[in-house]
Chain A
Amino acid sequence: MIRRLLIANRGEIAVRVGRTAREMGIEDVAVYSEADAGAYHVGQMADAVSLGPGTPRETYLSVPRLMEAARRAKADAVHPGYGFLSENAGFARAVEEAGLVWVGPSAEAIEEMGDKVRSRARMRAAGVPVVPGSDPHAVSDADLVAEAGRIGFPVLVKAAAGGGGKGMSRVDRTEDLPEALAEARRLAASAFGDEKVYLEKLLERPHHVEFQIFGDRAGHLIHLFERECSVQRRHQKIVEETPSPALEAALRSRMAEAAVEAGRAVGYVGAGTVELLLDEKRNFYFLEMNTRLQVEHPITEVTLGIDLVRAQLEVAAGRTLPDHWARLTPRGHAIELRLYAEDPVTQLPRSGEILDYVEPGGPGVRVDAGVTRGSRVSLEFDPLLAKLIVSAPDRKAAIERAHRALGEWVVLGVETNRAMLAAVLRSPEFLSGRYATDLVSRLPAGESPEPPPAAWIAAARAFGGPGSAVRSAGPAGGGPGNVRDPWGEASGWRTGA
């Protein structure tokens, strides 16, 4: 039995895990760095403990600080969320050695799947197809150049310890390879502390489809269907849906079987995700396995009517998966939109304060948010603000609902990728369901449309014209940002200092 759960994360995922814990009668305990003491997730839980001052590396990414927090919180279990230390075998081991329940797979499974070179070899041995790539023993530039010739260009240079698209680059010609390798090693060393890189054949216009799998200690291992994750930019997912419009029944069941096989090869326990690439000839390949909850897990939850976090907590406490989970079938269609704090043109992360926030609601709408009105958005952390998850009886209705709910969503004060999400929902390719990972790059180039007259007038009023009824900037109202008022005078404006 778990009584008190330390949630070693922040943002929307910490809030989401806490909700299920409380439903199960488990006390949820937040952690926070000092700079993050006012963050939304901290106020949402039964209790909260500080990780002290410092950067994310010294706080949310510090095993000793988190273990100390777990001790002070008198927690008997730790949920790592996603990102941060969720795929860190050392953290999993430390939690278990302290006699606490680790809500995740074994440290061995994390290690096995975390090293992309090793996991590829393991999958090949288990009969799971993998993307053609360089030999695990090829490490030097000369070896890798020879391997690239064998695999055939274009190739992707990838970090062995990588994930999330970091340190990944496309190379089309032999002469560009040494430079790309040096660059990738440098990025890999700084992002993952491991400079090992390898090559993979670059599949043109692939689909990115992943399967949720789940195992328990009694040896059950099942799949919970797929999520289509091809709407990406910079190898980062922004829109996911299930079922995948790219799969028909026979292909779906072959891919699902391969995903379960991949999990079985490492004796997987808990929630995991097997990412597969599907090429234009309908061949599929193992890409990687994520040994944690995925950002996009809610679309599986809403189409299957299950709670994956509840199952994680139950399996971690030693229970078996519910029998009927092996017979689940998805109902309807679900779409997730990820809202990021970012410059809509450059797509670089932005910081700021959420000045106004209203969540959409109504039938088939779920919002997993990590912010609310007054929240500060810092460049130190992942720029994901919140996720909108919609479900409906069919794909067309789900897209219409996504439009409607996205429109209702008021998030003001920091720039976001909202326009890009709307553009994806509007694009003929997305509507047809026939799209691949190049969808975002094919969206009409960033012509910014002109705001309607009502928006210009509302803006002018907010700058202090007649009839101004300005929502105050944040809950504190008169922050430093409100004092200076260079545009208030009717005589026109002068440039701010």
Chain B
Amino acid sequence: MRLESGGHIREVRLSADSATLDTASHVVRGGADGASAEFLEVDGVRHRVRAARRADRVFVWCDGDVWEFSAARKESAAAGEHAKDLRAPMPGRVRKVHASEGESVVKGQLLLVLEAMKMEHAIRAPRDAAVRRLTHREGDLVEMGEVLVELSEPPSGS
């Protein structure tokens, strides 16, 4: 299955005693240890792991860090830095537009400020790109998921 976590996508194949991540294969042993945490042995190294699933999302605690996974969609608009369309994370009002159409922007650059739930929220460039289209003006109300900024195509090969 194809999984996505924080913009990273991996094809994961499981069998009884091994796993393949994209092309890399790993020897896997593991099961519940009867106490609090489960363990998972990957290539002979033991990891403490807990996982919880709700519908299409899985949360994993692994050796002290937490990761969230979802099944990767084929055309992943939500795939972080590969995104072409930057969408409103929640309904709100466009408070300030800091970019202009045609402008070349660098990763992390502030493009637009959205005000939502009495808070200001910065929309930043997820990668170096050109601003192809700005769909809203300052003061416009936007719905959640509406496209705010259209960027140039990401470099291919990802």
Contacts and interface: CB of A to CB of B under 8 A. Distances in A.
A429 interface: no
Given A416-B66, A495-B73, A463 B53 contact: yes
A356 B50 contact: yes
Given A348-B116, A412-B66, A451-B8, A462 B52 contact: yes
B52 A456 contact: no
Contact of B40 (A234, A356, A457, A495): A457
Interface in B1-44: 1-3, 5-8, 10, 12, 14-16, 19, 21, 24, 26, 28, 30-32, 36, 38, 40, 42-43
Contacts of B24: 453
B56 A469 contact: no
Main secondary structure of the interface of B (DSSP, over half): strand
Contact of B21 (A407, A453, A481): A453
Contact of A407 (B52, B63, B95): B63
B52 A473 contact: yes
A199 B76 CA distance: 45
Interface size on B, as a range, is 35 or more
B71 A463 contact: yes
Given A416-B66, A457-B26, A469 B31 contact: yes
A343 B1 CA distance: 25
Contacts of A432: none
Given A467-B16, A471-B50, A484-B55, A455 B62 contact: yes
A454 B42 contact: yes
A190 B118 contact: yes
Nearest to B92: A348
Interface string A479-490: 001101011000
Which of A167, A410, A416 is most buried by chain B, counting CB atoms within 10 A of its CB? A410
Contacts of A411: 66
A461 B50 CA distance: 11
A413 interface: yes
A455 B21 contact: no
A470 interface: yes
Interface of A: 166-167, 169, 183, 187, 190-191, 234, 343, 346-349, 352-353, 355-356, 358, 406-408, 410-413, 415-416, 418-419, 422, 445, 448-463, 465-467, 469-471, 473-474, 481-482, 484, 486-487, 492-493, 495-496
**10 closest Cβ pairs, A-B complex:** A407-B64, A448-B6, A355-B52, A465-B14, A412-B59, A459-B69, A454-B47, A462-B51, A460-B12, A412-B52
